[in-house]
């Protein structure tokens, strides 16, 4: 009897479950872009978690911020001899300037939150260029610097951390504006930044030691 | 009281936006534009596109009169300049759900504009009314401070005796009426205070924002543990609403929100603004709906307070707080190190980051080749057949007076609760034929409630006159339509 009820329950949930799991596999689900999907997700949280566990995934849901996504589960213990499955959620390689850009955007967001009032952090391209400029080698060609930074910005938009705002209608093109999406808090977190700091430290030491050996020669 | 010491005034002149507005070169343009778009219609936030257009219109008109020289820049440049921190006359912000920025007037600018408005010389400066108000305020405070019940009762009895005396006077027919001067005096004070109240809402909102910022600063700089911080903040419950500003505002709001008081305000305003003595002073027509303006402004402020409280609670959220502290620490270190390797930046991949999307290949989502559809645009000239058709039929329109028809229906529905379409037409024959019948049906589906009885058929007939002057009888058969009250 009980089994029948449970089967009925899961059968009834099934259409909504697929409605929820498919967008999650394809990317981040935002409350503001699809409120009905979000309410389904909140209702079916335990079922979703059970379902994606099969794929070695975990559901990360932040109700206050209004986003949800899947992340690969870390192996629980290293002694486990079962071979690691290939990752479903890929890892992207980022170049140094892009990593730095992400860190600086996260800093801007943290400062913005501490300042209070608004929830949406919007920066013009000019502001982002100024933010990044001091960390990049000085170029005599300013336009080339801006072009380079534009490529980094596009990469960040591709990853979903920045959103380009539609330019206002019927105006001469002012510089494009970007919204820093709050999902950046979930990915560029203290753990990732600590990792970035370590790598920077390693690289710095390596660069210093190699320049010393060069000087000696 | 060192309110206006030399240093204070000097720093005000250098940094206060209101003073800057009064001294700016473009003051006439700025002040008149801001008054016209924000203060006169009592609007709190205007989208960038709409505001730019309004300013363009004004600039266009001014340029016609004064030439190109005085205002060379574009409207958008002026707006962004006015919203910059150096000027501080407009506040530019983004709202949820829209990519377009919005503008609002800053309280300092509002104050400057209100002051300019008050410079207009008053022919009559009333004093009696204000003195009475002061006495009333003192009485309220004195009585309110009195905790002794006996004293209170004594005061109330004194007031009741005075009222009784007035009542007996009135019963005898001695009704002292306020003369015109007294009325004008009081009305002037009312108008002044009402306008000030409306102008203060922006400042109230600004105060709330400042409170919020101060709380956040305290949270960010808190050196101790989370528990102690929570105790301090939550010990005051809601730091924003419990401030002086918050309490006063909530008291105001509660007082205004009762519908009985709203009606009272409307009635009294109507009566007073209709009095000849008041009318002679040409009062501002906006005063008639000042309480609705208060409601609008108050509602806006309420929403702001609610938003601020919500965000503050989120900011205090456990993980976010700890993480923010750690992140700011880490970022400082990262910045320092990044600067040191500036000239010798590493190339290639440096870090990795997870993506939230699974790597899914969807080969069948790729569309297959479809030859492009080229529409064939030919340049053909349509040759007319050469016949002369009387085009008058295109232009002759039947104009049906819907208002008269509606009136007719309403008249009949007054006596009876239902009436069929056929009876309506019998009582008032159709002058415009089928068009009028269709107008009845349209009224039935729109302004009036109508039920259609599919089972029964009615026939409606009317007379028309055709081109030769012959009278034709026409009949339409349609299901019974019943208009219901």
Check pLDDT > 60 for residue B9. yes
A193/B334 touch (CB, cutoff 8 Å), yes or no: yes
Q: Do B349 and A95 touch (CB under 8 A)?
A: yes
Say if the Cβ atoms of B327 and A110 lie within 8 Å.
yes
| Of the partner residues B335, B348, B356, the one whose CB lies closest to the CB of residue A95 | B348
B292-329 pLDDT, tens digit per residue, is: 888 888 888 888 878 777 777 777 665 566 777 788 88
DSSP assigned state of A88 = S
Q: Which of A89, A189, A196 is the closest to B334 by Cβ?
A: A196
- B342 and A117 within 8 Å at the Cβ level: the answer is no
Across chain B, mean pLDDT equals 82
Q: What is the mean pLDDT of residues B29-43?
A: 88
Residue A216: pLDDT above 70?
no
pLDDT of residue B39: 85
Q: Which residue in chain B has the smallest CA separation from A28? A: B356
pLDDT confidence of residue B235: 55
List the single range of A166-175, B50-59, B374-383 with lowest mean pLDDT. Answer: A166-175
Q: Pick the residue with more confidence: B369 or A149?
A: A149
Cβ of residue B153 closer than 8 Å to a chain A Cβ: no
**Percentage of the residues of chain A whose pLDDT score is greater than 90:** 16
Q: Determine what percent of chain B is predicted with pLDDT higher than 70.
A: 92
pLDDT for the residue B246? 78
- Per-residue pLDDT, averaged over B154-168, amounts to 90
The percentage of residues in chain B with a pLDDT greater than 90, rounded to a whole number, is 7
Rounded mean pLDDT of chain A?
81
Identify the pLDDT of residue B57: 92
The pLDDT, as a whole number, for residue B406 is: 84
**Whether residue B398 has pLDDT greater than 80:** no
pLDDT at A18 over 70: yes
Quick check: B33 pLDDT over 90? yes
pLDDT tens-place string over residues A45-97: 999 999 988 888 889 898 888 899 988 887 655 445 556 667 777 788 889 99
Q: Say how far apart CA B233 and CA B245 lie, in whole Å.
A: 17
Q: How confident is the model at residue A103 (pLDDT cuts 50, 70, 90)?
A: very high
Please answer yes or no on whether B345 and A91 come within 8 Å at the CB atom: no
Query: Do the beta carbons of residue B103 and residue B49 sit within 8 Å?
Result: no
Residue of A nearest to B304 (CA): A117
Judge whether B279 is closer than 8 Å to chain A, CB to CB: no
Which residue carries 């919203």 as its tokens?
B83
Flag if A200 and B220 touch (Cβ within 8 Å): no
Q: Smallest Cα–Cα separation from B331: which of A149, A72, A109?
A: A109
Confidence of residue A10 (pLDDT cuts 50, 70, 90): low
Tokens of B179: 């003369």
**pLDDT average, residue stretch A139-145:** 76
pLDDT (tens digit per residue) in B75-89:
888 998 898 888 889
Give the whole-angstrom CA distance, residue B355 versus residue A187.
8
Whether pTM > 0.80 for this model: the answer is no
Q: At residue B479, does pLDDT exceed 80? A: yes
Alpha-carbon distances of A71 from A35, A157, B19, B332, rounded to whole Å: 22, 20, 55, 28
Q: Looking at this predicted complex, what is its ipTM?
A: 0.78
């Amino acid at each position: 009897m009980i089994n029948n009820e449970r089967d009925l329950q899961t059968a009834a949930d099934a259409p909504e479950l697929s409605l929820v799991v498919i967008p999650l596999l394809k990317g981040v689900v935002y409350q503001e872009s699809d409120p009905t999907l979000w309410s389904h997700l909140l209702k079916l949280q335990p079922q979703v978690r059970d379902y994606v566990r099969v794929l070695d995934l975990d559901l990360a849901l932040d109700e206050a911020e209004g986003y949800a996504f899947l992340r690969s589960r870390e192996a629980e213990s290293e002694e486990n001899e079962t071979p690691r499955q290939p990752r479903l959620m890929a890892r992207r390689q980022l170049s140094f300037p892009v990593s730095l850009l992400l860190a600086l955007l996260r800093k801007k967001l943290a400062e913005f939150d501490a300042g209070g009032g608004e929830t949406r952090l919007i920066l013009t391209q000019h502001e982002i260029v100024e933010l990044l400029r001091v960390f990049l080698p000085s170029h005599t060609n300013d336009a080339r610097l801006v072009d380079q930074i534009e490529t980094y910005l596009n990469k960040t938009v591709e990853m979903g951390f920045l959103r380009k705002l539609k330019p206002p209608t019927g105006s001469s093109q002012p510089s494009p504006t970007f919204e820093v999406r709050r999902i950046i808090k979930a990915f560029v977190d203290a753990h990732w930044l600590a990792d970035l700091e370590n790598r920077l430290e390693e690289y710095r030491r390596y660069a210093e030691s190699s320049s010393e050996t060069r000087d000696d020669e | 009281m060192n309110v206006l010491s030399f240093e204070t005034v000097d720093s005000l002149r250098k940094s206060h936006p209101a003073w800057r507005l009064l001294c700016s070169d473009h003051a006439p343009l700025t002040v008149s534009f801001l008054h016209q778009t924000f203060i006169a219609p009592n609007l709190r936030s205007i989208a960038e596109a709409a505001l730019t257009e309004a300013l363009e219109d004004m600039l266009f008109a001014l340029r016609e009169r004064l030439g190109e020289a005085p205002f060379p820049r574009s409207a958008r440049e002026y707006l962004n300049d006015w919203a910059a921190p150096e000027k501080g006359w407009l506040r530019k912000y983004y709202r949820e759900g829209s990519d377009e920025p919005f503008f609002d007037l800053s309280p300092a600018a509002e104050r400057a504009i209100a002051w300019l408005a008050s410079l207009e010389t008053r022919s009559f400066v009333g004093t009696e009314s204000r003195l009475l108000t002061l006495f009333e305020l003192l009485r309220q405070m004195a009585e309110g401070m009195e905790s002794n019940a006996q004293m209170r009762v004594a005061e109330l009895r004194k007031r009741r005796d005075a009222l009784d005396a007035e009542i007996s006077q009135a019963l005898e027919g001695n009704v002292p009426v306020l003369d015109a001067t007294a009325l004008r005096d009081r009305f002037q004070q009312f108008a002044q205070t009402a306008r000030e109240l409306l102008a203060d809402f922006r400042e109230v909102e600004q105060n709330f924002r400042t409170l919020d910022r101060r709380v956040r600063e305290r949270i960010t700089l808190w050196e101790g543990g989370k528990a102690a911080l929570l105790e301090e903040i939550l010990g005051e419950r809601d730091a924003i609403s419990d401030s002086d500003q918050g309490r006063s505002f909530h008291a105001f709001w509660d007082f205004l929100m009762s519908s009985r008081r709203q009606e009272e305000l409307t009635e009294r305003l109507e009566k007073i603004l209709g009095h000849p003595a008041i009318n002679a002073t040409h009062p501002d027509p906006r005063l008639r709906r000042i309480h609705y303006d208060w409601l609008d402004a108050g509602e806006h402020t309420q929403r702001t307070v609610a938003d601020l409280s919500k965000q503050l609670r989120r900011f205090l959220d456990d993980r976010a707080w700890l993480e923010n502290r750690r992140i700011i620490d880490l970022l400082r270190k990262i910045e320092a190190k990044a600067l040191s390797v500036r000239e010798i930046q590493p190339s290639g991949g440096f870090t990795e980051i997870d993506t939230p999307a699974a790597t899914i290949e969807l080969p069948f989502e790729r569309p297959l080749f479809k030859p492009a559809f080229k529409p064939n645009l030919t340049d053909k000239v349509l040759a007319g057949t050469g016949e002369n058709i009387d085009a008058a039929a295109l232009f002759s329109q039947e104009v049906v007076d819907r208002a008269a028809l509606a009136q007719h229906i309403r008249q009949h529905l007054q006596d009876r609760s239902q009436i069929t379409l056929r009876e309506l037409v019998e009582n008032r024959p159709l002058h415009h034929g089928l068009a009028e019948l269709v107008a009845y049906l349209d009224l039935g589906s729109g302004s009036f409630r109508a039920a259609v009885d599919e089972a029964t058929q009615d026939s409606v007939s009317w007379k028309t006159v055709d081109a030769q002057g012959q009278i034709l009888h026409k009949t339409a058969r349609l299901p019974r339509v019943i208009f219901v009250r």
